[in-house]
Structure 1
Amino acid sequence: MSDNKAQDLIGAIKEKGKKLEAEMSFFDHIDVLRKHLLRSLLVIVLITIGAFYFYDFIFNTVIMGPKDPNFWTYRMMCKLVAAYPSLGTEFCITEIKGKIINTEMAGQFTLQINSCVMTGVIFGVPYILFELWLFIKPALHDKERKSASGFVFFSSLLFLIGIMFGYFIICPLSINFLTNFSVSPMIENTFTIDSYLSSVMTLTIGTGIIFELPVLIYILSLFGIMTPAFMRASRRYAIVIILIIAAIVTPTPDMVTMMVVAFPLFILYELSIFISASIERKKNKELYGTVKAPSN
């Protein structure tokens, strides 16, 4: 009886040791993640501080750019009208109506803080992705590390392309429509600076996040959650969703503007199908060798 008790005690101690080891491993991972987050936060803070030095350029040229009729996008639109008069003179934007005001005592100070912080976040995204890669890299096998070696580069590139597309295409078209839209000549459009900054940041950063779709599909395909067969079968629903997103992001009444926004999203979706199919072929090659696995 005493031997059984001793064995039970030893078994309980071993089980407790395994639990403690697992808990220590979990907290070790949390500690490592904390260090990566702190380094990312430090980089964002440093970029934010640097943004204060260049604030005149950031605010007057970058943030207020889509409100200026001489903005690059509007000039290109007028050149298109000159080359193709069938587009209509309304496609050439020469005036952005709507007055921007500040209604709070600390509004302009808060504006400077928020715009600098958002600048730090946008330019800090590549480094944040790099720290994320450093965190997940030890948990990957050699093949997975090799296949995902370009994660930081391609994620940063897609985010940058999305930011540029949102800033130069979606943002000016939306701002032009919203600032000039009026249900009655008796109502004057006057916007707060917070509302304007929020619109610019939401449209720009939101587009950058949407352009990360191929990276998301790549990760989901690696785990077998997403397949090219499913994406092809869901293409018609994806088209409807993309058109809805384009209509929401660009609240303009003309179909041309909506299609300008929707077309890159169609390309991203087709690119995601290609990426998912490529991953499926690699998995089939590993499982079946040179024999092609039966398609769904």
Structure 2
Amino acid sequence: MSVDESQPLITHLIELRNRLLKAVICVLIVFVLLVYWANDIYTLLASPLTERLPAGATMIATNVATPFFTPIKLTAIVAVFLSVPYILYQIWAFVAPALYKQEKRLVYPLLISSTLLFYIGVAFAYYVVFPLVFGFLTSTAPEGVTIATDISSYLDFVLTIFLAFGICFEVPVAIILLCWSGVTTPEDLKAKRPYIIVAAFIIGMLLTPPDIFSQTLLAIPMCLLFEVGVLVSRFYVPKEDTETENKIG
């Protein structure tokens, strides 16, 4: 590799490092601002369960350091969660110069919509799914069994559900990208609608606790978002057509 060829590569690597550093600094700043309220944040996260525990039941910590590290871990995750728009902006600023004009028109709204959909998925899980799921699970405990959930296990459980709902709410974005790249078409997806509905319920069964409420509450939004994705994908020109227009232009 010649010196002239290596210079742009080094420049891109330096820019990538700087943007990653800015993203990390943003997360650290948010974390420092929130860490004082780490216990309050965990209390808020645990409220869908604690409000539905039987009288006298509480959450427990099975390890000595768990009461300290679990809220700190949650606060770090919340800091990343709140920093996502800025992190995506840094990714966009790094990638945008290499995109065609039509590709920029596609990617920019997709970045915004994918972020909003992920947040909506997490909010849906917290405000709709958790009350139903924890209400069902706490009511099915056998007589004489005291419910005492470990705070670390609870955090891992809810983060898994958050991630599942956040990702599954990205269905419209995935459909638009598949149609834009030419992998499929809105007409093909409409023809396969029955299979996709079945797949949505299977995904709901695999990603949620073993109760019909949470499975259905994940599958139904996925089916609705599938219809939204099919509808919106009609307004995006396939990638091959876009590249042809750019070359002609």
Counterpart pick for 1:223 among 170, 181, 188: 181
Q: Does 2:87 correspond to 1:128?
A: yes
Identity %: 29
TM-score, normalization by structure 2: 0.83
Cα deviation code 1:187-245 (max 9, x no counterpart): 44332110111112221233122222222333333332343233223322221121122
Instruction: State how far apart, in whole Å, the 2-side matches of 1:257 and 1:235 are.
Output: 22
Structure 1 residues 127, 226: closer, same or farther in 2, change over 3 A? Answer: farther
The aligned residue for residue 43 of structure 1 is 26
Instruction: State how far apart, in whole Å, the 2-side matches of 1:219 and 1:28 are.
Output: 30
CA contact (8 A) 1:177 1:252 kept: no
The aligned residue for residue 206 of structure 1 is 164
Cα deviation code 1:52-82 (max 9, x no counterpart): 133343222x21221243xxxxxxxxxxxxx
Higher Rg:
1
Higher RCO (C-alpha 8 Å, min separation 6): 2
Tell me by how many angstroms 1:101 deviates. Answer: 0.7
CA contact (8 A) 1:213 1:268 kept: yes
Structure 1 unaligned blocks of 5 or more: 1-15, 70-94, 289-296
The aligned residue for residue 88 of structure 1 is none
Number of equivalences:
243
Q: Is 256-265 or 275-284 further displaced after alignment?
A: 275-284
Alignment RMSD, CA only? 2.8
SS of aligned partner of 1:189: coil
CA contact (8 A) 1:174 1:249 kept: no
Tell me by how many angstroms 1:170 deviates. Answer: 2.0
Tell me by how many angstroms 1:38 deviates. Answer: 1.5
The aligned residue for residue 131 of structure 2 is 172
Q: Does 2:221 correspond to 1:264?
A: yes
Instruction: State how far apart, in whole Å, the 2-side matches of 1:228 and 1:31 are.
Output: 41
- Trace 1:234-253 onto structure 2 (pairs within 5 A): 234-251=192-209, 253=211
Letter in 1 for 2:47: G
Letter in 2 for 1:158: L
Letter in 1 for 2:217: V
TM-score, normalization by structure 1: 0.71
Tell me by how many angstroms 1:283 deviates. Answer: 6.9
Q: Is 216-225 or 130-139 further displaced after alignment?
A: 216-225
The aligned residue for residue 291 of structure 1 is none
Letter in 2 for 1:130: Y
CA contact (8 A) 1:177 1:251 kept: no
Tell me by how many angstroms 1:167 deviates. Answer: 1.1
Q: Does 2:119 correspond to 1:160?
A: yes
Instruction: State how far apart, in whole Å, the 2-side matches of 1:122 and 1:270 are.
Output: 27
- Trace 1:35-184 onto structure 2 (pairs within 5 A): 35-60=18-43, 62-69=44-51, 95-97=52-54, 99-182=58-141, 184=142
Tell me by how many angstroms 1:185 deviates. Answer: 3.4
Instruction: State how far apart, in whole Å, the 2-side matches of 1:38 and 1:100 are.
Output: 38
Structure 1 residues 223, 99: closer, same or farther in 2, change over 3 A? Answer: same
Structure 1 residues 281, 138: closer, same or farther in 2, change over 3 A? Answer: closer
Structure 1 residues 29, 228: closer, same or farther in 2, change over 3 A? Answer: farther
Instruction: State how far apart, in whole Å, the 2-side matches of 1:22 and 1:176 are.
Output: 62
Instruction: State how far apart, in whole Å, the 2-side matches of 1:181 and 1:132 are.
Output: 46
Structure 2 unaligned blocks of 5 or more: none
